[in-house]
Structure 1
Amino acid sequence: MYKKQQYVFKDGRPVLATVRTYTENDFPGLIEVQRESFPPPFPPDLLWNREQLGNHIALYPEGAICVEIDGEIAGSMTGMLTKFDPAHPFHRWEDVTDSGSIKTHDPDGESLYVVDIGIQPKFRKLKLGKLLMEAMYERVVADGLERLIGGGRMPGYHRVSEELAAEQYIDQVLAGELRDPVISFLLSCGRMPVAIIPGYLDDEESRDYALLMEWKNPFHL
């Protein structure tokens, strides 16, 4: 089990946040986080259900964490272990994660793969996503893994997809000429670009693209 508490700031006032392993009792709150975090046009069939959440806590509870504010689940993050070959980065989210069920979790995997992260919109100014990401980095270090890796959605891309190729869009985000809600956030968390992946996820806003991004364990030899 994992549990950490620290203060975040809301309108200049400290608010206590608890990052911890989620359990079956949290399933209703976790499902609500999904609904709030990923509204249409995000495909509703990709949102968590109780069966998937049950797999998360059964197969890899170390990668099943949430953040709580005043007794309410404000966000969650789910990971699994996988073997990643940097020479062959292209894949689909549904293939690596078994459509989010994580039945593909490999206990011998050297990489922690981010299956999902979501924060309720009303809590997003509290920087809770960074707390969850830091908790996963701690897991990578504690277990001697090589990296944290996962595909970042590009939800801002649909606004310029007729003018820019996906590679051009990411180049402009990296140059600070454009801002993407997800990619810019992940960059601020220390994630580094690996490859642009077409057909990563059925995601209209991202035009089905994702930017594969990693955080390498600085202590891994």
Structure 2
Amino acid sequence: MAEETIDIRQLTAEDYRDLKESMMSAYADMPGSYWREGTIQRLIQIFPDGQIAVTVNGKVVGCALSIIVDYEKFGDDHTYEQITGYYTFSTHNPKGDTLYGIEVFVHPDYRGKRLARRLYDARKALCENLNLEGIVAGGRIPNYEKYADQMSPRIYIEKVGDKEIYDPTLTFQFSNDFIVKKILRNYLPHDHSSKGFATLLQWFNIYYEKDRDTIRYNKSTVRIGLVQWQMRTYGNMDGLLQQVEFFVDAVSDYEADFVVFPEFFNAPLMLEFNQLDPAAAIRGLAKYTETLREKFSEFAKSYNVNIITGSMPIVIDDLLYNISYLCRRDGTWDSFRKIHPTPSEVYSWGMKGGNDIRVFDTDCGKIGILICYDVEFPELGRILAEQGMQILFVPFLTDTQNGYNRVRFCAQARAIENECYVAIAGCVGNLPKVNNMDLQYAQSAVLTPSDFAFPVTGVKAESTPNTEMIVVADVDLVLLKELHAFGSVQNLKDIRRDLYEVVTRKK
């Protein structure tokens, strides 16, 4: 048997004879259903990239035809005639947002060779290259005529989705990651096999970037720098700030997008209040927090790096909180108050928990911040993930290896279950002259989900334990999009929302 050569390429006007023959064979149950030559030439003229042919040994045996539309002008209630401009394709808009599939077929003699899948893959690649939001199409349900007396189109579609019924068109669409948005009535009135019904199908382009053509855009590869901070006495605020700026400078030399400091990295300044009881000493330390936030903002702008400032105590309305700041390199800033103070923070200091759980927008995607103990509560990470979080930053302070492992293992779990990156940064060393801050244990790390595109250990980078140093690592946000859509398991997508949910109660 002679070898076959299969090719995917743009359709040309010279292909019309083969195209007509293949289409008439594909739609043998719908006599006269083939595109006229002038119509095909019109499509090729207005949008050549959108007309894709599959050939076997040089013969066109199938094709995928498309136009670009501004989908809002049509919405979900439209007919085939309306979306195609009554076959004139006047609806094609090169500046539109959606690739609309108006035709896919393969000659029946060449089925079973996965040619339709090749056409769909080519169409998806075109959608991605053009940075369109997705693909929309009206799909036939040709086997429905066999079940029309037994069930409604909705039940039929559900049973096809559950693989109880096979439909040559809809089953294929489901296998190619299309979803059914709704059922269309009289979309193709002459389609008797489908009883005039059609499915409105949609495929989402996970790589779509709304602002890709603007100067300010979200990066796909993000560089993170972690500061594993050595506790030492500084004498005064100037000494502490000198060390802070040293690390910001060092990380920014690597052109990092984020630099992350640990929880209570400024604890050495408590030496000034050592004569006070613990609750008064921590409130004394809080008087430096606003100055530190201002300096971090200055460093973020001057060193062109977003800074997660670790955490510091702060007094608001006479209540003590543990607060972290996001200081952006554009000069803006946000804050997050630790939700769950540890039992010792409550007992020794009278610390209160914050009530605001939200993600923050940055020039490198959406981020979340949880402080130390917070990461041990999975509900917080899930809430942030449902708000679109891509990177979770966790400043922490632990005094024993047991305490560290609680943070580390829970952070790893948050990365897996929420399909995000988690960066943890902690303090090392000791402060023998500062009450309640004697010893610290840390191994800072950038943690990943667990799938083929990520390190098999789930660790992108990590520090040497208990050693002052920085860790610099790149994370790819595109891999997260691919994981959400095509991962071996899909924790976010497969949540049984019919059975349970995580909700917040505003105080």
Matches within 5 A, 1:95-110: 95-110=82-97
In 2, Cα distance between equivalents of 1:87 and 1:104: 10
Match for residue 158 of structure 1 among 145, 168, 176: 145
Whole-Å separation in 1 of the counterparts to 2:103 and 2:178: 15
Instruction: Give deviations 1:110-158, integer Å, cap 9, x for gaps.
Output: 0000000110001111010000010010011001000011011000001
* Aligned AA (2:137): G
State yes or no: 1:36 paired with 2:56. no
Other structure's SS at 2:41 match: helix
Match of 1:196 in 2: 183
Give the aligned partner of residue 113 of structure 2.
126
- Which of the numbers 34, 47, 52 marks the counterpart of 1:47? 34
Higher RCO, 1 vs 2 (CA within 8 Å, ≥6 residues apart): 1
Question: 1:211 corresponds to which letter in structure 2?
Answer: T
Distance 1:100 1:116 in 2: 12
Stretch moving more, 138-147 or 77-86? 77-86
TM-score, L = length of structure 1? 0.89
Whole-angstrom distance in 2 between the partners of 1:139 and 1:28: 25
* Paired residues of 1:55 and 1:103 also in contact (CA < 8 A): no
Aligned 1:135-154 pairs, distance under 5 A: 135-154=122-141
Offset at 1:98? Answer: 2.7
Please, which runs of 5 or more residues in structure 2 have no aligned partner?
210-507
Corresponding residue of 2:255:
none
> Which of 207, 210, 217 is residue 195 of structure 2 equivalent to?
207
- Between the aligned partners of 1:70 and 1:173, the Cα distance in structure 2 is 34
Q: Which moved more, 1:106-115 or 1:95-104?
A: 95-104
Percent of aligned positions with the same letter in both sequences? 25
Residue of structure 2 in register with 1:178 after alignment: 165
Amino acid at match of 2:52: I
- Residue type of the alignment partner of 2:13: E
Distance in 1 (CA, whole Å) between partners of 2:88 and 2:20 is 14
1:169 counterpart SS class: helix
Contact 2:24 2:31 in 1 (8 A): no
Structure 1 residues 65 and 86: CA distance shift in structure 2, 3 A? same
| 1:92 counterpart = 2:93 | no
**Number of matched residues?**
208
Q: 1:38 deviation in Å?
A: 0.6
**TM-score, length basis structure 2:** 0.40
1:69 is aligned to 56
* Unaligned runs of at least 5 residues, structure 1: 1-10
SS at match of 2:139: strand
Q: Secondary structure at the match of 1:118?
A: strand
8 Å CA contact retained: 1:63, 1:80:
yes
Aligned counterparts of 2:3 and 2:35: Cα–Cα separation in 1: 31
